[in-house]
Amino acid sequence: MLYISKYGYSYNIEEWQEISEEKYEEMFLIIPPIFLGSGFFMGEAFEEDLYNFFIKRNDKYYNAIFSINDTWEKIKDSLESFIKAQ
Report residues of the chain scoring pLDDT below 50. none
Exposed / middle / buried, residue 10 (Cβ in 10 Å: 0-12, 13-18, 19+):
exposed
Domain count, the chain: 1
pTM: 0.89
Helix (H) or strand (E) holding 70: none
- The DSSP code sequence of 21-49 is HHHHHHHHHHS--EEETTEEE-SS-SBTT
In terms of residue numbers, what domain contains 74? 2-85
**Measured distance between the N- and C-terminal CA atoms of the chain, rounded to whole angstroms:** 18
pLDDT at 6: 84
